Amino acid sequence: MVKAIFFDVFGTIVDWRKGLTEGLGRGLARFGADIDIPALTGTWVDQIRQEQARAGTSSGSWKASCRTGLEAALRAHAGELPLTERDYETLVRAWERLPAWPDAVPGLRALRREYVIAPCCDAPVSTMTWLAKTAGLPWDIIIGPDITGTRLPDPEHYLASARLLALDPEQIMIVSAHNADLAVARASGFRTGFFSRPREHGPHQEADLAPAEAWDIVAFDLLDLARHLEAALY
């Protein structure tokens, strides 16, 4: 029986595209430059992924990847801006001020009545703590790669998180809007829950619009997933 639920956060629980676009727009407005902020946001996220891929599964690479990725994205879209160290810190902290999807907080609250709920993604505990504060995410515990010692796609990130709660993989459901996360989870014995966020990457998104496999639960959104769990024993 499932006793805990671990969640991907960026894209699944919070709308990173909207939050980062707004954060970059505010942070760069005083420069008066003609910058395509949505394009800058997309390039920043792509650069972070590339930096993370180069770093492997190192647990300490997140914030460094955010900073390096931001510098590369700014060079591509804004040229050389006279940013101070404090400017960079403020822009990177946009990751701590992302809005939750409308169904996310009520869905988490519903699930928290019966299950231990926790984020389980690539960002460190400090980032996830401030994000929980600003977005109102009611986690029972916050788990990060700085605790597990590794990060996805290493399955040990999920397995070490399970050991923190003294639970076996089959007692935990991994919930994500990203099929790749669930493939890693299922291969390690975890239960899986999926719903799509079809506008995570904007209006022309092509990935993760549908489940890639027959996951244990396929729902419309987080509230619907909570209803599925209420209606059946897993």
Q: 3-class DSSP state for residue 141?
A: coil
* Average confidence score pLDDT of the chain: 92
Average pLDDT of span 144-158: 88
* pLDDT tens digits, one per residue of 26-69: 999 888 768 899 999 999 999 998 888 776 655 557 888 999 99
Q: Kindly state the DSSP code that residue 7 receives in the 8-state scheme.
A: E
Has residue 214 got a pLDDT over 90? Answer: yes
**How high is the pLDDT of residue 34?**
83
Q: Where are the alpha helices (DSSP H) in the chain?
A: 16-28, 37-55, 62-78, 85-92, 104-112, 125-135, 145-148, 156-164, 179-187, 222-231
Residue 225's Cβ-side half-sphere holds a number of Cα atoms within 13 Å equal to 31
What tokens appear for 72 in the block?
A: 């590369």
C-beta of residue 116 within 8 angstroms of C-beta of residue 4: yes
Q: Classify residue 74 as left (phi > 0), alpha (psi -120 to 50) or beta.
A: alpha
Q: Give domain 4-15+98-231's CATH number out of 3.40.50.1000, 3.40.50.920, 3.40.30.10, 2.40.37.10.
A: 3.40.50.1000
Best CA proximity match to 212, nearest among 179, 174, 168: 179
233 — pLDDT class (breaks 50, 70, 90) = low
Q: Give domain 16-96's CATH number out of 1.10.150, 1.10.357, 1.10.12, 1.10.3470.
A: 1.10.150
Per-range mean pLDDT, top range of 13-22, 23-32, 33-42, 206-215: 13-22
What tokens appear for 102 in the block?
A: 């409308």
Provide the greatest CA pair distance for the chain: 57
By CB atoms closer than 10 A (0-12, 13-18, 19+), residue 57 is: middle
**How high is the pLDDT of residue 7?**
98
C-beta of residue 221 within 8 angstroms of C-beta of residue 105: no
* pLDDT tens digits, one per residue of 87-110: 999 999 999 999 999 999 999 999
What are the extents of the domains in the chain? Answer: 4-15+98-231, 16-96
pTM of the model: 0.94
* Three-point CA angle 117, 102, 87, nearest 5°: 85
